Amino acid sequence: MQNQSNNIPSGNVQNSISSNEALFLLNRDVSANQLQTYRSNNEPILMTSLSGMPIGDKVYSLTAGSRGPILLQDTCLLDELGQFNEEKTPERCSYAKGSGAFGFFQCTTDIGSTITRAHFLDTRNKQTPIAMRFSRFRSELGSSDTIRDVRGMAIKFYTDCGNFDLICNHLPVFFIRDPILYPSLVHSQKRNPVTNLFDYDAYWDFLTLRPETTHCLILLYSHRGIPNGYRYMNGYSVNTYKFISRDDEISYVRFHVKSNQGINSIDPTKALVLAGLDSDYATRDLYNTICINKELPSWTVCIQQMNEQEMKNSLFDPFDTTKIWPKTYYPLIALGTIILNRLPTNHFSEIEQLAFSPANLVPGIELSLDKMLQARVFAYSDAQRYRLGKNYAQLPVNRSLNPMANNCRNGYMCLNNQNGAPNYFPNSFHGATTSYRFKESIYSVEGNVARYECSNDNDEFSQAKTFYRQILSPDERINLARNLAKSLTLTQQFICKRALENFSNVDQDLVNDIQHFLNLQRPTTMEDSNIQTDLERKI
Ligand code: NDP
């Protein structure tokens, strides 16, 4: 808990509170004082109906006589109930629980101008407003922030050439590389449709049947699997993008968004306690940090870059989302800094309705042959249409800075008639036009239409081996084994055996250590197994 100096209520109300009360407020989280802060800065205003009619009474329903039935003409009651019934939109199928904030991206180099046409990257010190949403992959609204899970970090750059959405994870690789498996991956990590409980048979069954998940799994079960709040984690695009330079040169990039606060993770036992005591731990931390406005959270946006020749000659598939690009060959190039300095004024309108899609690109940044990225282009936009309606891009938080100019004038909540411009193209009436300057780059493809294995190097384990042997310290290796064993103990023996077979391709020491912890942890009686709470299972 922090002590916040800017949290002393001001104005009329402050004068009316006792010194004890003021002390109490001072010692609370700034987030806990949101209502008090409002009271200190505002006078009460008259309540109105949806249509603006001033309201005379909002405590008692309108009835015929004091015991009589409620009247349908009570528009005040109808407003209240009708609005309440529809105040939620469907939650996201994955990355459901999130929080976010706003700020800016500042270019710290001119290097961008030589490798991409993207305007927002072309000049040192140029600033671009951004929105950022943090989330947890298999979360539901209301679930705990301190569960071991992949975290999402999505950034919307409001550039002068449209919005660019960079949708990252906090680990540099993902479980799978073919999008056709994504719904199954999510189903296996969410609730069993019969029991409505998380199902560790399903979880480990799916993951162990697809050995390409091994690299992501050992990163997830390392200490980075439970970040100490959103400020202390990196973001990785995982997907590979294409940069197009002003001279039409193509290169391939992966984005790294590196925390300037450093990496900080939570010990699993503390995470377990926090999951019970403060399920909104990361949400609270982000809110308090930005509200206090002292050390604003910041990240450095970097890329790794490959030219076309390197892409063709690469020993691993650069579009494979289960692989990193080794930094030795593809060093990080810093492009700029992100600083978060503004909280949403309303979580629902600005964060829940903040709609990201990898389809939101700007000239100079294009999709690559990364199959996951290509599928996400459809999946995200489609999900936003379902969640928020067809005109979600017209919501203030999703609007681009440059005016939208297209053929769309209809559909639920259409707010923008585009000044009466024609809604068909081509036209003879000064409607929006296109420019050859913004055409996509050209590339050729060939081959037979078939269902191909994404990666052609047959190598699921060598990067996981490097991570285990060369990155993790001996203590971290033991912790990794302990964390894996704790989760594996909840699944059936045959699935556990398959997991150990996969991990034996990483390192036999890892298997031995997991086996050791499994022997210690596997419940021997039904009573033992009941002792483990559902929360413990998730950590
Ligand atoms: P490098 O030595 O250049 O990079 C190793 C990187 O490992 C570090 O810079 C750090 O990434 C990351 N790292 C350290 N501890 C952990 C951890 N507990 N969990 C996750 N990441 C961690 O080597 P390579 O680039 O050749 O990569 C070697 C292995 O490191 C890979 O197989 C991969 O598993 C892992 N790795 C690599 C990353 C990369 O972008 N190259 C990123 C993350 C993991 P960071 O600097 O991004 O914090």
Which amino acid appears at position 28 of this protein?
R
Q: Is 331 close to ligand 1, i.e. is its CB under 6 Å away?
A: no
Considering the chain, what percentage of its residues have pLDDT values greater than 90?
Answer: 90
In a domain? residue 443: no
**Residues 394, 506 within the same domain:** no
pLDDT, residue 343, reads: 97
| Residues 320 and 394 occupy one common structural domain | yes
Mutate to test the pocket of ligand 1, among 471, 477, 506, 510 (most ligand atoms within 8 A of CB): 471
192 and 118 in a single domain? The answer is yes
- Record the tokens describing residue 32, joined without a space: 């806990």
- Whether the per-residue pLDDT at 411 is higher than 50: the answer is yes
- Work out how many domains the chain is built from and give that number: 3
Instruction: Tell me: do 488 and 370 sit in the same domain.
Output: no
Query: Would you say residue 456 lies in a domain?
Result: no
User: Residue 463: CB within 6 Å of ligand 1?
Assistant: yes
Spatial separation of the C-alpha atoms in residues 393 and 179, rounded to whole Å: 25
Q: Which of 364-368, 444-448, 471-475, 512-516 has the lowest mean pLDDT?
A: 444-448
- Looking at the structure, tell me whether residues 51 and 157 fall in a common domain: no
Predicted local distance difference test score (pLDDT) of residue 532: 53
For residues 9 and 70, membership in a common domain is answered with: yes
Q: In terms of domains, do 59 and 102 share one?
A: no
**Are 234 and 367 within one domain?**
yes
**9: confidence class by pLDDT, cuts 50, 70, 90:** very low
Query: Can you tell me whether residue 340 is helix, strand or coil?
Result: strand
Of the pLDDT bands very low, low, confident and very high (cuts 50, 70, 90), residue 242 is: very high
Exposed/middle/buried for residue 412 (C-beta within 10 Å: 0-12, 13-18, 19+)? exposed
Q: Are residues 219 and 78 in the same domain?
A: no
- The whole domain housing 55 covers 2-85
Do 379 and 314 fall into the same domain?
Answer: yes
270 close to 147: Cβ distance less than 8 angstroms: no
Report yes or no on 413 lying in a domain: no
CATH number of residue 237's parent domain: 2.40.180.10
Which letter does DSSP use for residue 410 in this model?
Answer: -
Distance of CA 254 to the CA centre of its chain: 17
Residue labelled with tokens 């406005």? 293
Q: Among 14-23, 118-127, 170-179, 362-371, where is mean pLDDT lowest?
A: 14-23
Q: Which of 35, 55, 85 is the last residue of a domain?
A: 85
CATH for 24: 4.10.91.20
SS3 for 268-301 is: HHHHHHHHHHCCCHHHHHHHHHHHHCCCCCEEEE
H-helix segments, 44-136: 75-85, 112-115
Residues above pLDDT 70, as percent of the chain: 94
Q: Is 520 in the pocket of ligand 1 (CB under 6 A)?
A: no
DSSP 318-346: TT-TT-PPPTTTS--EEEEEEEEEE--SS
Mean pLDDT score of the chain = 93
Query: Do 168 and 312 belong together in one domain?
Result: yes
Q: Which residue has the least CA distance to atom 33 on ligand 1?
A: 467
Residue 156 pLDDT exceeds 60: yes
